[in-house]
Amino acid sequence: MTTVSSPVAGRAIGLAAVPDPVFSGAMVGPGTAVDPVREPGVAVAPVNGVLVSLHPHAFVVVDDEGHGVLTHLGIDTVQLGGEGFEVLVHKGDTVMRGQGIVRWDPVAVEAAGKSAVCPVVALEATADSLADIVDSGVVAAGDTLFTWK
């Protein structure tokens, strides 16, 4: 079983509240989302594993069970071309839960006209393989968002 932690501090809102139909419709996969605190911070690894995909606005960590977890920092933030994001690690690195991956500023993301909401998605998972999904309430970076069996 994989326990997936929040990569950012904020308020859990659930995938259905994400202002993007690809995420809200769980087309990428099931999971939840966090509306981050409005201050500069560091998005951290939600699981222990290998960083198989790394962009300034998004990253995927695959754990030793083969579970890939996507963290997307904001919505449509790929259009910012990396502006306001600082990558702290390298693709292919082995990372630990809670380790800093990307430094970013949700305020700058919103100032650029984008949503700062962060989907956290279980890639190639079925909805019934996730349990204890947190979709409301305040979360700290590192708090459990869901378990994946």
Catalytic residue chosen out of the listed positions 55, 57, 67, 72: 72
Q: How far is CA 14 from CA 28, 29, 44, 135, 144, in A?
A: 14, 13, 19, 4, 13
Chain centre distance of CA 2: 15
**Could you confirm whether 55 is annotated as catalytic?**
no
Virtual CA dihedral for 50, 139, 102, 65, nearest 10 degrees? 10
CA atoms within 13 A on the CB side of 59: 32
Nearest Cα to 74, choosing from 111, 30, 47? 111
Q: Which residues are catalytic?
A: 72
